[in-house]
Amino acid sequence: MKTMQPRPLSTLSLIVLHEARILVRDRTLLLVCCVLTLMVGYGLFVGLAQATLRDRMVAQVLKHEQETQTANSGTLQSVLAGQTALIPFSNPANPAAMAGTLSGRYATMPNAPLAALAIGQSDMMPNYYRITYLSKVQFMYDTEIENPWNLLSGHFDLAFVIVFVLPLLVTTLGYNLLSAEREHGTLRMLCSQPLSIATLMTGKVVVRMLALLAIVIPVPLVVLLLIRPEARGAEQLVLMLSWSALVAAYCLFWFAVAALVNTVGRSSSTNALIMMALWTIFVLILPVTMNLAVGLVSPAPSRTELASRTRVATAESLREYEDLYSADYRYASDPEALLVKNERIEVPSRMRAFFLAKQKVDEQIEPLLKRFDQQLLQQQKLVDRLSLLSPAMLVNEALTSIAGTDSRRFLAFKDQTEAFHKRWRQYFSPRIQESRAMTVRDLSSLPRWHWVEMPASEIRWSIWWRAMLMLALASVLGGLALARSSRGSIE
Amino acid sequence: MLDAIEVTKQFGAKRALDNVSLSVLPGEIYCLLGANGAGKTTLVNLFLNFLQPTSGTLQIGKLDVVRQPLETKRLLAYIPEQVTLYGVLSGLENLAFFSSLAIGEHLPRQRLLELLEAAGLPRQAADDRVATYSKGMRQKVGIAIALAKNAKALLLDEPTSGLDPSAANEFSELLVKASNDGVTVLTTTHDLFHAKQTGTRIGIMKQGRLVEELRSEEVSHADLEALYLKHMKS
Ligand SMILES: Nc1ncnc2c1ncn2[C@@H]1O[C@H](COP(=O)(O)OP(=O)(O)OP(=O)(O)O)[C@@H](O)[C@H]1O
Ligand SMILES: [Mg+2]
């Protein structure tokens, strides 16, 4: 009686094949896959367009920098040869003019190789700053400081498709995973065979998940590899792998939710309602609430405070350099003052005052800016911690760090720009004070901007632990669903 | 082979089965009679582990139904009152799927066709989508699935409902043949004539209790009818 027949076919594979056939026959799968393909395609297009735009912006800025440099060295040579006499503002021999807008220097942040995968903060944060001796407040803090979590204002990019749309498609395919079989009556037929509901559900999820993942993972990666050559390195492949793991884990999470709902809920329509409610909570309500919570717990730095402090600091520095400011431009009465003599040039005291005043303002405002940055960092940390509560936030954070469009990278850019800005001033400060004229060699050895990419290991770590956490969450829910399915009646 | 030992099943306040004990031996065809709502389907569902008993145990071949659901289901074939299949698949495809699920291997098409024929499904309907089938045709695919399994025990819940008289007759012949091969059969029915004709034993249920058990050769058809009506009235 106890002798069992050999079972050459695994029950799971039978269910998988059967489910695939049913889904193909009744066209659900076709419809869902078409919708997903269209959305993935569009989302990717939006991301690529944004990345291209930013590429172009950087290229233009660098071209401008190059052209200015060539023009400047030409002009300088003719000035030094005594062929041209220029007013101090447009004279490249004048260090104060070069420290200002004349140099055409920029700090730029290139797109990360996988930028097209998520727009993230890249539509709000600049990817270049014009470097002059002006106050940081004038060129770095002139845009609105945003809460680092800003999913909802996002575009219809691939990250949006994954975070928002994919769970809806999972819901479409999974809300009636078991309830449909129960309502239709086939569940009794299935369960009169040596088949556990756990196996049945696993098989159903495997087919549906493979179908979705077969579109959402390879399509973007293949497109990227084809049209963005910088996406082809080994480092990028590892990132793509982590991206795939993340998307798969997020997908699995939603299927686990669907499976769990199917073991709790009764009718298909009830299940659908529960799924919609959960989607709304996880994807809409939690992020918005957390946005508010972050704003409350760690409010964005006050812009009015910054503005008024800047005004005070400016007034103070004006007073301090009053004498210099009030001096007249000598070159109007004495054209000799325009010439370079013994490698020296007269820097008009008003220009010197300007340089010093801006430096002063920055020194004065520095503690406040430090606090600003501290606050932003605080917010970021809070977002990191809170994102553990919402899978949507968790995944979005990781997706943007893979794309290099997360606020962390933009903050790093800001930091590096500040450091460069400081170096820029330090380079010119003695030259302006000592009225040293710029030489042709100086011009080609001005401080150079180098973007230092964030350490890859750090990024990788921040992504993988999120992917693992997502997977753990999905496994717990999935395990719960399977455990529940083995108990209770099927009626 | 099929044993229910002091089984009680409670649905909230409603007691659907009240301390039912019943045992069906190999080769027996046990027919359960009883009014609507007597608890016949509930008992069958308990043997299938579709429901769990409030108290008592159910065994199939000495295996506990609740504790070893997969093992006991390997020994069982089941035909419900309404066989439901996948409408988008043909009768043959449905049979192929359920039979491979039942026995763990794919049967060749020829064998599947033989099974459908044995169950009485017209050959030309085998490749039509089940959505186009009549109730009786679906029932016949259900019979074919049960036959494919070659099970040691059959659980049947009004299996001939929807079958035309000649098909029902053929089905009875199949049952007798199976029982001669040592298969254990537990079937519910409202058809006293059929019960007397094919059953080796008959049980009468009333309001969740098994009120009468008898051997069919011990009673005439008229006696059985009288006995049944007596129980229903009292
Ligand atoms: N899932 C359920 N929930 C609550 N009550 C139920 C459930 N299933 C059955 N019952 C009740 O249990 C009793 C027995 O039902 P059962 O289906 O076993 O009767 P039956 O003998 O098969 O009747 P019929 O001849 O109409 O098929 C009925 O009173 C029914 O209302
Ligand atoms: Mg019944």
User: Are β-strands B29-34 and B209-215 bridged in parallel, bridged antiparallel, or unpaired?
Assistant: unpaired
B35 alpha carbon, closest ligand: 1
Task: Tell me the percentage of chain B whose pLDDT exceeds 90.
Answer: 54
The total number of residues written for chain A in this structure: 491
A423, pLDDT greater than 90: yes
Position A458 confidence tier, pLDDT thresholds 50, 70, 90: confident
- Given CB atoms, is A185 within the 8 Å cutoff of chain B? yes
Write out pLDDT tens, residues A7-42.
Answer: 556 899 999 999 999 999 988 889 999 999 999 999
B208 Cα–ligand 1 center, Å = 9
Question: What letter would DSSP give residue A94?
Answer: -
Does residue A325 register a pLDDT over 80? no
Q: What is the pLDDT of residue A150?
A: 53
Residue A118 backbone class (left: φ over 0; alpha: ψ -120 to 50; beta: rest): beta
Taking the C-alpha atoms of residue A382 and residue A407, their distance in angstroms, rounded to an integer, is 13
Q: What are phi and psi of A4, to 5 degrees?
A: -105, 145
Shortest Cα distance, chain A CAs vs residue B51, angstroms:
5
Cβ contact, residue pair A22, B86, below 8 Å: yes
Is the Cα dihedral A437, A442, A446, A447 positive or negative?
negative
* Minimum CA distance residue for ligand 1 atom 19: B37
pLDDT beyond 70 at A2: no
| B88 phi, psi to nearest 5 deg | -80, -10
| Helix %, strand %, coil % of chain A (to 5) | 75, 0, 25
How would residue B76 be classed by pLDDT, with cut points 50, 70 and 90? very high
Please give the mean pLDDT across all residues of chain A: 86
pLDDT for the residue A4: 47
Residue A318: enclosing H or E segment and its boundaries?
helix A303-320
Interstrand relation of B14-24 and B29-34 (parallel, antiparallel or unpaired): unpaired
Of B200 and A346, more confident: B200
To the nearest whole Å, the CA of B230 is away from the closest chain A CA by: 33
> Which of A5, A14, A188 is closest, CB to CB, to B101?
A14
Which residues fall within 8 angstroms of residue B57, CB to CB, at 6 or more apart?
Answer: B4, B5, B6, B7, B64, B65, B66
A87-91, A145-149, A237-241, A329-333: lowest mean pLDDT where?
A145-149
Phi, psi of A171 (to 5 degrees): -60, -45
Q: How many helices (H) and strands (E) does chain A have?
A: 20, 2
Distance B134 CA to ligand 2 centre (A): 20
Phi, psi values for residue A165, rounded to 5°? -80, -40
pLDDT at A272: 94
Dump pLDDT digits (tens) for A424-457: 999 999 998 888 888 888 888 889 999 999 888 8
8 Å CB contact of B50 and A191: yes
Can you tell me which atom of ligand 1 is nearest the CA of B40? Answer: 21
Predicted confidence band at A297 (pLDDT cuts at 50, 70, 90)? confident
Token pair in block for residue B5: 């030992």
CA–centroid distance, residue B13 to ligand 1 (Å)? 13
The question of ipTM being above 0.90 is answered as yes
Say how far apart CA A401 and CA A461 lie, in whole Å. Answer: 11
For A69-78, A126-135, A379-388, B44-53, which range has the lowest pLDDT when averaged over its residues?
A379-388
State mean pLDDT over A122-136. Answer: 84
Count other C-beta atoms under 10 Å from residue A218's C-beta. 12
Q: Which residues pair with B202 in a beta bridge?
A: B31, B214
> Which chain B residues touch A184 with a CB distance below 8 Å?
84
Cα A146 from Cα A123, distance rounded (Å): 12
DSSP A143-164: SPP--S---TT--SSHHHIIII
Q: Any CB–CB contact under 8 A between B107 and chain A? A: no
pLDDT surpassing 80 at residue A58 = yes
Statement: residue A352 has pLDDT above 90: no
**% chain B with pLDDT above 70:** 100
Q: CA-CA distance, A95 to A346, in Å (whole number)? A: 10
On whether the CB atoms of residues B30 and B186 are closer than 8 A, the answer is: yes
DSSP labels, A280-310: IIIIIIHHHHHHHHHHHHSPPPPHHHHHHHH
Q: Which of A5, A18, A185 sits opposite B97 (nearest CB)?
A: A18
Which ligand 1 atom sits nearest the alpha carbon of residue B12? 4
Tell me what the mean pLDDT of segment A363-368 comes to.
Answer: 85
Residues 6+ apart with CB under 8 A from A355: A96, A99, A133, A425, A428, A429, A432
Parallel/antiparallel/unpaired status of strands B76-79 and B153-157: parallel
CB contact under 8 A, B74 and A26: no
Q: What is the reported pLDDT for B107?
A: 92
DSSP structure class, residue B126: T
- Report the separation in Å between the CA atom of A338 and the middle of ligand 1, taken as the mean of its atom positions: 107
Picking from A282, A252, A226, A216, the residue whose alpha carbon sits closest to that of residue A39 is A216
Q: Among A294, A419, A315, which Cα is nearest to A364's? A: A315
Q: Which helix (H) or strand (E) holds B195?
A: helix B192-198
Residues of A in Cβ contact (< 8 Å) with B51? 489, 491
A193, B101: Cβ pair inside 8 Å?
yes
Is residue A154's pLDDT more than 90? no
Q: Which residue of B has its CA nearest to A26?
A: B88
Say what the pLDDT of residue A1 is: 39
Nearest alpha carbon, ligand 1 atom 25: B36
Q: Which of B45, B65, B84 to mutate to test the interface with A (most CBs of A within 10 A)?
A: B84
- Angle between helix axes A166-174 and A234-264 (nearest 10 degrees) is 40
Confidence band of A488 (pLDDT split at 50, 70, 90)? low
Answer yes or no: CATH 3.40.50.300 is held by domain B2-233: yes
Domain boundaries, chain B: 2-233
B78 at interface of A, judged by CB pairs closer than 8 A: yes
Distance (angstroms) between ligand 1 centre and the Cα of B11 equals 9
- What does the block give as tokens for A213? 């993942």
Contact B53, A179 (CB under 8 A): no
- Is A188 a residue whose pLDDT tops 50? yes
Q: Rounded mean pLDDT of chain B?
A: 90
pLDDT, tens only, A89-120: 788 888 888 888 888 889 999 999 999 999 88
Mean pLDDT over B55-69 rounds to 92
Report the C-alpha gap between A88 and A279 in whole angstroms: 63
Radius of gyration of chain A (CA): 31
